[in-house]
Amino acid sequence: MRIETLTRMAQEIAVNNGVFPEDEATRRVADHLRSFWTPAMRRDFTAYVTEHPDAVDPVVRAALES
């Protein structure tokens, strides 16, 4: 899957969980990524975010680190 698509999807997940406090939103985003994204999607996206941390919402970055 294209990194642009993964980035858009992760950002949308973060926005959809933006109504929660940051720690809960982070947990919910992390849970979603673990539950619905394949290991390859998570691996590729994590590598991208490691190289481009400003490309995603801080909640997405924190979710990948949890």
The pTM (predicted TM-score) of the whole model is: 0.92
Q: Give the Cα separation of 28 and 14 in Å (integer).
A: 9
Q: How confident is the model at residue 1 (pLDDT cuts 50, 70, 90)?
A: confident
Q: Give the Cα separation of 38 and 20 in Å (integer).
A: 25
In the chain, where are the structural domains located? Answer: 3-65
Give me the chain's average pLDDT, please.
96
Please say whether the beta carbons of 49 and 60 come within 8 A.
yes
Q: Which residue has the tokens 């969980």?
A: 17
Query: Residue 27: pLDDT above 90?
Result: yes
Is residue 61 classed exposed, middle or buried when 0-12, 13-18 and 19+ CB atoms within 10 A define those classes?
buried
Rounded average pLDDT over 54-59: 95
